[in-house]
Structure 1
Amino acid sequence: MSRKLLILLAAGGSAALMLGALGFQFIGEMPPCKLCYWQRYGHVLAIVAGGLALWRPVMPLIGLGALGALSSSAIGLYHAGVEQKWWEGPNSCTSGSIAGLTPEELLQKITDAPLVRCDEIPWEMLGLSMAGWNALISLALGLLWIMAARTKA
């Protein structure tokens, strides 16, 4: 496969994931949580790097594309772990323990809570949440970027 084709597939994959995320958000009425937004940033970086690398395929741009896809994969894996309660997520988007709170502190915690929580799974397919699917697909896209870097121009 040519370097440009690999770049096109990798950046196009990130664009497809972004369109899917926006579709879930606006058509499916599933607003994103904080970690969902964090996963999107890597794809935006990969799309921009891909667009520029298609015009001029230099290693720094290919590296940025790989960094974007792989960072989205890592955040997706972290997010999937938060959803599965393997570890806690950011305090700003997960529920913590309420043991020992006074009624006033509990009320304050409730009123300060975000509308969309990171530790709930709004959609899943074949046992994987959107975050889990993003982790896997983004890893594959990162590997395409790495293949592009290793392919002769």
Structure 2
Amino acid sequence: MRSRDGWRLYGIGLSAICLLALGTAWWAQHIAGMAPCPLCLWERWPYRIGLLLGLILVVSPRALARWVMVAFIVVMLCGAGLAAVHIGVEQKWWASPLPSCHAASLHGSASDMLSQMPAHPAVPCDEPSYPIPAVPVSFATFDLICTLLLVVVTGFSLSRLRRAQLIFFGRS
């Protein structure tokens, strides 16, 4: 692989990191038995989109690589926003924006209350899940750290890619 095609290797790395994050969430849910709340499920979407963008980066031409990396940064910033909202809900700084995170209404007839019940019991969004028992850092906090690190590293790599393009094409 030529050094000026480094964005392809970076795309493989982004895809691997997103796959690792999704795999960790899957493991926590299905193997460790930690049921996700509705906000946790929303927080997985940036990693799914990031995985797709990483794969697109692998096969994209050089001219498109920069824009795919910018899109990845935007998606991860959205993920950081979701994680920040979740942390605020866990810390009880504000209520969850999702109606499925709120307690059911006790108004109306018994049939109305039964119709409002979810198909499966929901995990409340304001109770943090700690993946490492000895460390008081919730999944939402780990998610915020991971997404912000991905934004910083991708931004740094994007600036290096831009600099390499200027040097390679003789525009310094």
TM-score category (smaller protein): 0.7 to 0.9
Partner residue, 1:42? 46
2:149 to 113, 128, 140: 140
Distance, in Å, in 2 between the alignment partners of 1:9 and 1:141 is 11
Residues 81-129 of structure 1 show CA distances to partners (whole Å, capped at 9, x for unaligned) of 1011111002321348x8xx66969x939x6365221111132543221
Distance, in Å, in 2 between the alignment partners of 1:67 and 1:138 is 11
Number of aligned residues? 149
1:55 to 55, 59, 76: 59
Return the offset for 1:131: 0.5
Gaps of 5+ in 2: 165-172
Tell me how large the CA RMSD over aligned residues is: 2.8
SS at match of 1:36: helix
Rg larger for: 2
* Greater relative CO (CA pairs within 8 A, separation 6+): 1
2:25 to 9, 21, 25: 21
Residues 10-66 of structure 1 show CA distances to partners (whole Å, capped at 9, x for unaligned) of 332222111100100110112222111111110111111011102225222112211
Task: Say if 1:41 and 1:68, in contact at 8 Å, map to a contact too.
Answer: no
- How much identity, in percent, do the aligned residues show? 23
1:93 equivalenced with 2:97 (yes/no): no
Relative distance call for 1:102 and 1:37 in structure 2 (3 A) is closer
| Partner amino acid, structure 2, of 1:14 | C
TM-score (norm: length of structure 2): 0.72
Distance, in Å, in 2 between the alignment partners of 1:52 and 1:115 is 35
SS at match of 2:127: coil
Gaps of 5+ in 1: none
Return the offset for 1:8: 3.6
